[in-house]
Structure 1
Amino acid sequence: MEFIYQEDILADIAKQIIEHTSSKTLAFYAPMGAGKTTLIKTLIKELGSRDNVSSPTFGLVNEYALDSGKVLGYHFDFYRLDDEEEAMDIGLDDYLDSGKWVFMEWPEKIPNLLPSEVQNITIQILNETTRKLTLSE
């Protein structure tokens, strides 16, 4: 499934992703500046969290909750990892097995740790304001 979009319709794109995803584990493949964090922020909002979403570049993982306090999911940014062992050291398996939403930026840094049931999302920059998003297994 493919979408061509600009930021003003991102909420609609997020709703479509939620409706059509095959997994609660989402792996985002895109170059720097393509809007991965912005899309994840919109997805988390559409799923019902009012938490302030930011890229967990330095902490590796952020946790987001619903108003009830129940954990909605986890947001990873693997950009600064030197090797897959670092992801294992923070307990990636436990997060993946939690049954919660998992949003992963830079999953190409941990190819051997990705679960088989992951939903791959690729974002291409078409121009300064337009992106192409592809959902694939």
Structure 2
Amino acid sequence: MEIIFSIDELESVANQIVAYKPNKVILFHGEMGVGKTTLIKQLCKTLGVNTTTSSPTFSLVNEYEITANQLVYHFDFYRLKTETEALDMGADDYFYSGNWCFIEWAEKIPNLIPDNHSIIHLEQLPDGKRSLQLQ
């Protein structure tokens, strides 16, 4: 799936992603500042998160409740130096929990990513719009 969009179309983009029924573990790739976290915030809202969302840059993972027994985990592994750090914080338990896992900077943990995952590539276009490819 490929979508070209502007920031004011994020709600529609998030709805399209959810309707596409991707794997619950989604890797987000793109340059810093392209809008990965902004898209993840909108996806959380689309999935039913009612609390304020933020980047987990310093905490590594933020947890959001959708329903009593369904969660969204948002990871930002930018600051990791080794995969062992992700293992130490229990990343593999999160990834195989059956809950949504949105992962930024997954290239820092290539050996920990479950086989069943989807990938979103974001790129900023010269006109300021974004190109999204979901695989």
TM-score by length of 2: 0.95
CA offset digits 1:13-47 (Å, max 9, x no partner): 10111111330111000100000000000000000
2:31 alignment partner in structure 1: 31
The alignment partner of 1:38 has SS state of helix
Q: Does 1:129 align with 2:128?
A: yes
The question of 1:19 aligning with 2:19 is answered yes
Report the Cα distance in structure 2 between the residues aligned to 1:74 and 1:127, rounded to whole angstroms: 32
Displacement after TM superposition at 1:71 (Å): 4.0
Q: Which moved more, 1:110-119 or 1:122-131?
A: 122-131
Name the stretch that deviates more: 121-130 or 104-113: 121-130
Aligned equivalent of 2:52: 52
What is the distance in 1 between the residues matched to 2:37 and 2:15?
16
SS where residue 127 of structure 1 aligns? coil
Q: Which residue of structure 2 aligns with residue 118 of structure 1?
A: 117
SS of aligned partner of 1:120: strand
Q: Could you give the per-residue CA deviations for residues 37-63 of structure 1, whole angstroms, max 9, x where no partner exists?
A: 000000000001111111100000000
Judge conservation of contact 1:120–1:135 (CA < 8 Å) in 2.
Answer: yes
Is 1:82 aligned to 2:113, yes or no? no
TM-score (norm 1): 0.94
Q: CA RMSD in A?
A: 1.2
Paired residue secondary structure (1:112): coil
Percent identity between matched residues is: 50
Question: Structure 1 residue 121: deviation in Å?
Answer: 0.4
Distance in 2 between residues matched to 1:31 and 1:72, nearest whole Å: 27
2:111 is paired with a residue whose SS is helix
CA contact (8 A) 1:21 1:119 kept: no
Distance apart, 1:129 and its partner CA: 2.8
Query: Any gaps of 5 or more consecutive residues in structure 1?
Result: none
Q: Retained in 2: the 8 A contact 1:63–1:71?
A: no
